[in-house]
């Protein structure tokens, strides 16, 4: 339904299913009671004999209350469980245990693909650098060949913005730093973002699977021209 990344879509659909179920249950109940138990014309019953200054008669049902404590709890555990696996994929470690192997040798290709569960898997990855500053992004190909990674400038709504050109089928690990304040890289079509905190190095996977071209945005408010701190990323 959403069409961001296969991984996102898979979780999204699961969550939408449960949301609609819970929503339909609650709203069905709500609408039924608001209609069925409305006060009838001319009636004003005082069902539990509410009286000023008297703590009202207790109205509870232990079994029911336990039911709607336990059932949501089980649902929560289930939702946590299905959200657990993607953790490893989103912040995959490097090396043979990770989803993207180790750094590529010269001339080696990632050959990445999306598996049945929506995870991107690759044989190896390439390292690139992203540096944020008020209010530009700067890309560094770390000496990768022109074919794998190239930078130039593109015009976005009349303004010149940095442009990163990546190769489809390759997976990149961006090493990100900031020289002034906190920024955040948001790659909409990769379905990911990560903060870039000054004084620290952050890492973000950029699995370029299909041909596309999109805007990389700054998602952490960083000052005056925050909204215009964009760059274009092209996968071809």
Partner 1 sequence: MSGDYHGDNHPSPWGPHDWGHGAPHNSYAPLVMSIGVGIFLLTFGGLFNFGEFDMWYLPLVMVGLAVTGIGLFVWWRQDMSFDASYEPIATGTPFKHIQVRKVGMWVFLMSEMMIFSSLFSTYMRYRQGIPRCDTVFERGMFDPVLNPDGWQEGVAVTCFEPASHLIASSWFHLAPGAINTFALIVSSFTIVQALRWAHKPVGSVDEEVRRKRIYRYLGATTLLATLFLTLKIVEWFVGFPLPEFLHEYNHGHSSIKSLYAEHYLITNDHYTHHSYIDEATGAHMVANIRVSATLFYVTTGTHGLHVLIGIIGLAYLTFKAWTGAYNPQSAVSIEYFGLYWHFVDLVWVLVFPFFYLY
Partner 2 sequence: MNNSTSRRLALLAILAIAMVVVPAVTSLPAGIAGVKDSGCNCHGTEADSSVTASITGLPETYNASETYAVTVSFSGGPSTDGNMNLGGFNLWASDGTFSTVDDSTQLWGPSEASHTESGNDQRSWTVDWTAPESGANVNFILHVNSVNGNEGNGGSSGDMWNRADVTVLGFGDAPLPEVDPFKVLATLVVISGVMLSIVVLYIFYRKNPDSFDWENFSPWISEWLTSTDHKKIGTLYFVQGLFFLGVGGIMALMIRMQLAVPGNDFISQDYYNQFFTLHGTTMIFLAAMPLINGFANWMVPLQIGAPDLAFPRLNAMSFWLQPVAALLIFTGVFSGQGADTGWTGYAPYVVTETTHSGVSMWAAGQLMLVASSTLTGINFLTTMAVMRAPGMGWFQMPLFTWSILVANLMLFLSIPAFGVGLIQVYLDRTIGTAFYDVASGGDPLLWSHLFWYFGHPEVYVVIVPAFGVISEVIATSARRSIFGYKSMVYAMAGIGLVSFIVYGHHMFTSGMSPTLRFITMLTTMLVAVPTGIKIFNWLKTMHGGSLVYRTHTLWTLGFLVTFTLGGISGMFFPSMGMDVHLHETYFVVAHFHYVLVGGTVFGFFAAIYYWYPKMTGRMLDERLGVLHFLTAFISYNALFWPMHRLGVVGMIRRTHTYYITTDDFNALPEWAADWNMLISMSAFLFFASNLIMVYNMIKSLIRGDKAPADPWGGWSFEWMTASPPPTPSFDPHNLPELKDANEHVANEPGIFGQIFRRLMVSDDAAEEESH
State both tokens at 93: 């470690």
Least distance in angstroms from the C-beta of 174 to partner 1: 18
By CB under 8 A, tell whether 201 contacts partner 1. yes
C-alpha–C-alpha distance, residues 214 and 110, integer Å: 21
Burial class of 235 by CB neighbour count within 10 A (0 to 12, 13 to 18, 19+): buried
By CB under 8 A, tell whether 42 contacts partner 2. no
By CB under 8 A, tell whether 65 contacts partner 2. yes
By CB under 8 A, tell whether 150 contacts partner 2. no
C-alpha–C-alpha distance, residues 123 and 102, integer Å: 8
By CB under 8 A, tell whether 213 contacts partner 1. no
Binding segment for partner 1 (CB under 8 A), chosen from 56-64, 70-78, 162-170, 196-204, is 196-204
Least distance in angstroms from the C-beta of 61 to partner 1: 28
Query: Residue 30 or residue 103: which is nearer to partner 2 going by CB?
Result: 30
Query: Residue 143 or residue 199: which is nearer to partner 1 going by CB?
Result: 199
Binding mask 105-144 for partner 2 (x = CB under 8 A): ----------------------------xxxx-x------
Least distance in angstroms from the C-beta of 148 to partner 2: 19
Single residue of 42, 63, 80, 96 touching partner 2 by CB under 8 A: 80
C-alpha–C-alpha distance, residues 123 and 197, integer Å: 29
Nearest alpha-carbon partner for 171 in 102, 115, 219 = 102
- Whether residue 186 contacts residue 218, with contact meaning beta carbons closer than 8 Å, is answered with yes
Give the CA distances from residue 15 to residues 9, 68, 76, 140, in Å, rounded to whole numbers and listed in that order: 10, 19, 11, 38
C-alpha–C-alpha distance, residues 231 and 162, integer Å: 5
Least distance in angstroms from the C-beta of 203 to partner 2: 8
Residues at the interface with partner 1 (CB under 8 A): 199-201
């Amino acid at each position: 339904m959403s069409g961001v990344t296969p991984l996102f879509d898979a979780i999204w659909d699961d969550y939408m299913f449960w949301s609609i179920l819970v929503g339909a249950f609650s709203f069905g109940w709500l609408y039924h009671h608001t209609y069925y138990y409305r006060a009838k014309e001319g009636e004003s019953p005082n069902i539990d004999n509410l009286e000023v200054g008297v703590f009202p008669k207790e109205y509870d049902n232990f079994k029911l209350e336990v039911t709607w404590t336990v059932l949501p709890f089980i649902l929560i555990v289930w939702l946590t469980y299905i959200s657990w696996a993607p953790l490893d994929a989103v912040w995959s470690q490097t090396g043979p245990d990770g989803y993207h192997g180790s750094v590529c040798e010269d001339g080696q290709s990632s050959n990445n693909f999306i598996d049945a569960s929506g995870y991107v898997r690759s044989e190896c990855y390439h390292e690139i650098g992203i540096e944020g500053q008020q209010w530009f992004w700067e890309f560094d190909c770390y000496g990768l060949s022109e074919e794998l990674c190239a930078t130039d400038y593109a015009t976005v709504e009349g303004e010149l913005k940095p442009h990163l050109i990546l190769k489809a089928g390759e997976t990149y690990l961006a090493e990100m730093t900031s020289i002034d304040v906190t920024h955040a890289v948001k790659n909409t079509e990769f379905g990911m973002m990560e903060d870039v905190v000054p004084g620290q190095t952050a890492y973000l996977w950029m699995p370029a699977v299909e041909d596309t071209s999109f805007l990389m945005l700054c998602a952490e408010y960083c000052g005056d021209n925050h909204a215009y701190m964009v760059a274009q990323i092209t996968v071809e």
